[in-house]
Every structure is written in structure tokens, then in C-alpha cells.
Amino acid sequence: MRARAEARGFTLIELLVVIAIIAVLIALLLPAVQAAREAARRMQCTNNLKQLGLGLANYESSVGALPPEVVLSGSGSTVTWWGAWSVHGRVLPYLEQAAMYDAINFNLSYSTPQNTTVAGAVVTAFICPSEVRPEPRPRGDGSRYGVTNYGFAMGDWLVWGGFGGAQNRSAFGPNRSRRLGEFRDGLSNTVVAAEVKAYQPQMSNCRPSGVVGPNDVPRPDADPLTAAPEYAGGCAINTNGHTEWVEGVVHQSGFTTAWPPNFQVPGGPNRQDDVNIAGMSEGRGGPTYAAVGSRSYHPGGVNALLGDGSVRFVKETMNGLTWRALGTVAGDEVISSDAY
């Protein structure tokens, strides 16, 4: 009689061992894959900021000065004309977006029907690949606004002193076009743009009671609630920060150096949100004080564009006073290159 060959297969224990080995390999490889993807996203984000830097340099070379944050007219706290277009909109022709720029009617608000197509456009150069919500923000009338992940430097706490009031100490401000020659601190020691998060929660149209003058701003290491009690929920909160790249106000197209990069500011009714204080909108005549922080989804810090066109990854652990100093164009601070 012939012996029947005995069938051979995996035992349950062997199968479990194989699965365990595969799980261990995945656990070892996944962080490396995620790190590689984040490195690629950060590189693209850096390239976007470099494009903005080239755009600003070409704009300054052609026009003779950097673009204004926003253009408006009036007196006291009364605005009689509001040309809300942002720095983003004014540098479009230098970002290979000449057709989009030509479609803008700068004599009309970005919210008018003639400009809604541009206002809702997604501009790749304005969006970091790490942004978790890059989609445009819908409006009640069916139109939409394009978001941005890059804000221009518009002050520390002081953004604008109002008509006839003090100007901020940064590169951009309402009704002001700085020349690069005014950057007395040195172009390589001045931040002109940095990352921001889209759909950032913010306290809107309120003025921090702890900030009463251009020379009476809180230190960057101050407790937020002590510096501005409104952080406890004294103002209306919304999640529309940096969802309108077309609008030239600090909470939509800018940032301030009030707090260091990625600084967490609990606020709102439940103190559970990381919020900004948008202050009194520039469109209401000022004065405007705001703590609109630079934030990113990159671990450890944010990408920042300097006046010379270079991009540095600024650590979130940097000293707040150094960040404040980088935000001024003529503060005469001495900044060591290893401080950030």
C-alpha cells in the first residue's frame, strides 16, 4: 500500500508570528514614510515663499516700493473709501498670474460681482501642501473665497494707528509702501512674510483692553489673558481667519509678531480654541491692535520669508523678543544668526 502524502500548511501560531512581523515592519517604516512626505511638503512650502519673495522684489523694482497692505481714505475713524485689495492681489502679475490680475477691478471691492471670480480662485502659490483645509470658504450667496497660508508682516500688536496715527514697525501697513532701502535693520534680519493657518479661530472686531497705545504693547512672553482679557471670550469668535487672500486686513492676509511662532492661545467661551485677536478692523478706521500669530502644521516651527528673499525655518522655541525684533524694519536690534 502506498503511503498517502501528508498535507502541509501554516499553523495558527506561525500565521500569527508572520502577522506580528509585518506589523512591526510597518510600525518601523511608517514614521520614515511620514517624515519623508512632510519633508517634501515643507520643501514645496519653502518654494512657495521664495516665489512670493521674488514677486515682492520684482514689484519693488518695477514700482519703486513694496505694495501697501490696503488702501483706504477718510478722517478720524470714518472711512469714506475702502480699496480692500491685499498684497497677495497686487503681486499676482509677478507670480505668473497676469491674467488673473488683469481681471481685477481695483476700483471696486473684491466682494462685488465683477471680482468674485478672482476672489474665489485657488492660487497654488498661496497654499502650503501641509494645510488640512485648503478648500475655498463658501459664502451665503453661492460664491466663495480662496484661502491663504502665507501672511505678510503687519506689526507687533499695533497694526495701524488710524488716519493720522502711528504706523506699525513692520514691512506692510495701510496706505504705506515701503522701499527696501528703508529696511535699516538689514534685509536678512527682517521678516516680511510667514506661514499662517487657514480657517484660524479668531476674536473679531474687538480691541484688547490691555493694549492702549503703540508703545504700550505686551511683551511676547506675557500671559495672553492678562495682556488681553478678551481672550476669555469677551468678543465674538469665528473660524474665518485667513480664508480671504484677497482682503488686505491683518486677520485675512497678514500676521503680527505679538506672540512667537505656533504660540498656543486658548480662547473663546470654553477656552478650548487656539485663537487670534483680530482687533478693530482696519476697514472701520482704526486704530487697529491685533495678535494674529504665525502658525503652521510643520512640526517644530514655521517657514518665514526674509527681506533678502531667503526662507528660514523658524523654530517655535525661539525667544519671543527675537521674533519681535525680526518683525521690525528699523528697530536697530542686534540679532545673532543662531538665535533663530
Q: pLDDT by residue (tens digit) across 18-54?
A: 888 888 887 777 676 666 777 788 899 999 999 999 9
Q: Which residue has the higher pLDDT, 41 or 89?
A: 89
- Position 1 scores a pLDDT of 45
Residues 66 and 178 sit within 8 Å (Cβ to Cβ):
yes
CA dihedral 33, 34, 35, 39 (to 10 degrees): 100
- Given this model, what pLDDT does residue 10 score? 66
Res. 275: pLDDT tops 70: yes
What are the φ/ψ torsions at residue 81 (nearest 5 degrees)? -150, 140
Looking at residue 169, its pLDDT comes to: 94
pTM across the whole model: 0.89
23/34 Cα distance (integer angstroms): 16
Give the number of other Cβ atoms within 10 Å of residue 58's Cβ. Answer: 14
Q: Where residue 304 falls among pLDDT bands split at 50, 70, 90?
A: very high
In angstroms, the CA 9 to CA 151 distance is 62
Among the listed residues 336, 126, 319, the one whose alpha carbon sits nearest the alpha carbon of residue 221: 319
**Contact call for residues 253 and 223 (beta carbons, < 8 A):** no
In the chain, the percentage of residues whose pLDDT exceeds 90 is: 60
Task: Give me the pLDDT at residue 254, please.
Answer: 97
Output b/e per residue, 287-319; b: 16+ Cβ within 10 A.
bbbbbbbbbbbbeebbbbbbbebebbbbebebe
Percentage of the residues of the chain whose pLDDT score is greater than 70 = 94
The confidence score (pLDDT) of residue 247 equals 95
pLDDT digits (tens, 9 = 90+) for 67-81: 999 999 998 878 898
SS3 label, residue 173: strand
Give residue 7's identity as a one-letter amino acid code: A
Which pLDDT band, with edges at 50, 70 and 90, does 282 fall under?
confident
Q: Answer yes or no: is pLDDT of 3 > 60.
A: no
Our measurement of the distance from residue 46's CA atom to the centroid of its chain's CA atoms, rounded to an integer in Å, reads: 13
Segment 124-164, tens digit of pLDDT: 999 999 999 999 999 888 889 999 999 999 999 999 988 98
Q: Is the pLDDT of residue 258 over 80?
A: yes
Average pLDDT over residues 162-181: 93
Q: What is the mean pLDDT of residues 76-101?
A: 92
Within the chain, how many helices (H) and strands (E) appear?
Answer: 7, 16
Which pLDDT score is estimated for 244? 95
pLDDT score of 142: 81
Q: What is the mean pLDDT of the chain?
A: 89
What is residue 99's predicted lDDT score, i.e. its pLDDT? 95
pLDDT for residue 7 is more than 60: no
Residue 165 confidence (pLDDT) above 50:
yes
Which of 46-55, 133-142, 199-208, 317-326 has the lowest average pLDDT? Answer: 199-208
Alpha-carbon distance values, 332 to 18, 90, 136, 190 (Å): 64, 29, 40, 11
Q: Supply the pLDDT for residue 266.
A: 87
